[in-house]
Structure 1
């Protein structure tokens, strides 16, 4: 509800009082659930992180971490052709709003840290902090780049191929 209103009227034009009124709650009550205005846009932040980590932790026996994460990414509604316009509009909205771009980067950094820890725990070969963090960064960046691509599924698959097979000059 809030995101739609922000996208229609502009992030800075919509007040938290308007959002609270639409939700039939007071502004203080709104802030009991959402710590700031930016979090109203990223309202599924925690759940997304849990799903990301769960893709690795709950993968079936014999499924590699990268295959589990690729499958997770390909199942993302952002890669469904029916949702392409909505995804493009949302991505443009985030990119054009400095506060939201910054907030998204903070979330992504937290996801990277969480994913790196899971990679260290789950990887067959020991990973150091720098290696695990770099791999987590590349994986999350691949999701973003693919969602911004005109061919998201193909882009994601090719980026994961680089991870699986390495890059040859």
Structure 2
């Protein structure tokens, strides 16, 4: 019998059985919740129904998702990593506001009309006040982390108010566009303003290395 393959030095150890089981349970709960919400509407589905559909107790459900709204948004840490990478890994010559513009357009589905599942998900969120408010609150939690990366990439001091302002308004712009008939146009106009205002503020590290 050959020796089991060992992870390379410095690489993270693969998740153990317990971690895999927890992740599978969490995913089953999130999948069941989203399926029921899409079928019947968010307000018409109860926590106990979701737990039954996922074959778990309500206690187990709340261990994974502390509030009902969290069942719909299960990838916030991944989203923050993606958001910060947009700034750190932008192509040479692309401004930070323009990199965040592309992310905002994609994140809000302005260019995802070819995926009916994503469109259906957006319709669920946009038609449910509790989900809209929760998602915006969750999204704005990334302001501090985004402002820090903007400062690092721009050669500006940590805590610079201009970096915080850019981060806040970049995250707020897609939310403000929801009420308009053409959200893509609104997002573009907002980021045009942010890009013009950002010109001249960046320090010596004006682009990705």
Pairwise CA distance, 1:107: 1.1
Bigger-Rg structure (1/2): 2
Q: In the alignment, what sits opposite 2:101?
A: 70
1:6-155 paired onto structure 2 within 5 Å: 6=37, 8-76=39-107, 78-79=109-110, 80-82=112-114, 86=120, 87-93=122-128, 95=129, 97=130, 100-126=131-157, 128-155=159-186
Q: With the length of structure 2 as denominator, give the TM-score of the two structures.
A: 0.64
Q: With the length of structure 1 as denominator, give the TM-score of the two structures.
A: 0.77
Change (3 A) 1:77 1:116: closer
Pairwise CA distance, 1:4: 4.7
Q: Which runs of 4+ in 1 moved over 6 A?
A: none
Distance between the aligned counterparts of 1:77 and 1:102, measured in 2? 15
- Are the equivalent residues in 1 in contact too, given 2:143–2:167 (CA < 8 A)? yes
Distance between the aligned counterparts of 1:75 and 1:15, measured in 2? 31
List runs of 5+ in structure 2 lacking aligned partners. Answer: 1-30, 198-209
User: SS in structure 1 opposite 2:109?
Assistant: helix
Distance between the aligned counterparts of 1:118 and 1:7, measured in 2? 36
Cα-Cα RMSD: 2.7
- Are the equivalent residues in 1 in contact too, given 2:148–2:159 (CA < 8 A)? no
User: SS in structure 1 opposite 2:142?
Assistant: helix
